[in-house]
Amino acid sequence: MIPFGAVERADGTIAWPPSEDEIMNVLGYAEADAAAIRAALPHNQSVRAMSLPMLAVLKVLAWKDRHRIAQGRDAADLALIMKWYVEAGNVERLYADFAHVLNESFDFERTSAWLLGRDARAQLIEHSPRLDRMLGVLDDVLAGELDHEGAQTLVLQLNPANPDDALMLLDTFHRGLMGSEAP
């Protein structure tokens, strides 16, 4: 269990007692909690679960903080979510609400990444009292990784065998997150 919310500092961090020397970034945890969904369990039970868009947001933020010590872990999770988000209960939405993207240049994975970014943005708008800060931090991380002159560490961790594909997915996710209307 990780504390957040009322114990969180203004910069989105917490300090672990007793020495307060160990600092952890919990930026986005309150937003993920507020956007949690109810998942049905057997025997009329339910549990709150993190939404996939907010999981993607937290994976980007976690990658930013720990990509040097946990190489590839958060990137692999983010890649999986970006590639398959449409299949995670969003196929009907794609056809009903986003038919404009179903054209001759339609690409399933790219559209999945865009829709994930779009939904993450919508959840942040709805649930974040610090929307500008959240989008700013996410934009800084992603724009830096999309820079062709940069190291592209996240891109290489997303798909080491095909960094061009990873770059395309990350760029499309970023565009959805920043409000682009099409992938």
User: What letter would DSSP give residue 135?
Assistant: H
Task: Report which residue type is found at 142.
Answer: L
Section 60-83 average pLDDT: 90
Task: Report which residue type is found at 135.
Answer: L
**Domain locations in the chain as residue ranges:** 51-177
For 78-114, the pLDDT digits (tens) are 999 999 999 999 999 999 999 888 888 889 999 999 9
For 9-48, the pLDDT digits (tens) are 677 666 666 566 676 677 888 899 999 999 999 999 999 9
Question: Could you tell me which residues are beta bridge partners of residue 14?
Answer: 24
The upper half-sphere exposure of residue 109, i.e. CA atoms within 13 Å in the direction of its Cβ, equals 12
What pLDDT does 2 receive?
Answer: 61
Which DSSP helix (H) or strand (E) runs through 177? helix 163-177
If we measure between CA atoms, which residue out of 130, 131, 95, 125 comes closest to residue 111?
95
Of 29 and 154, the one with more pLDDT: 154
Global pTM exceeds 0.85: yes
What pLDDT does 27 receive?
Answer: 85
Section 116-121 average pLDDT: 98
Query: What is the secondary structure of 64-123 as a DSSP string?
Result: HHHTTTSTTHHHHHHHHHHHHTTTTT-HHHHHHH-GGG-STT--HHHHHHHHHHHHHHHH
